[in-house]
Structure 1
Amino acid sequence: MMMTVEPGQTAAALRDLVKRIPQWVRDDLNATDPMLRERAEDTLVAMIVALVEQGPS
């Protein structure tokens, strides 16, 4: 079930999510190795999906 949230709540939740991104994900997103980048991208997508499914706190 999708929740309707105020734009400010969504922006704040996304900012909080970005602050929580582990350093290894940040490093791997910038890696030249495509496997490392893909792993980091998958992790970031999972974090975003979890936020969308739960809705901002």
Structure 2
Amino acid sequence: MHHLETVEKAGRMNRYKVASSRLATLLRFFRRPEQSAVDPLAEGEEGDAEEL
């Protein structure tokens, strides 16, 4: 019973992580429309900070 609860919690955390990462990708996509031809998922996180 306790194990199931832990799995449920982990699943919720995972869903949250996936959703927030998707949201971050969308925000980056809309913030930099000149790169919309490039797949935003293929681009790494590094490089964004220097361009601000």
TM class, shorter-chain normalised? 0.3 to 0.5
Larger radius of gyration: 2
Could you state the TM-score of these two structures normalised by the residue count of structure 1? 0.41
TM-score, normalised via structure 2 length:
0.45
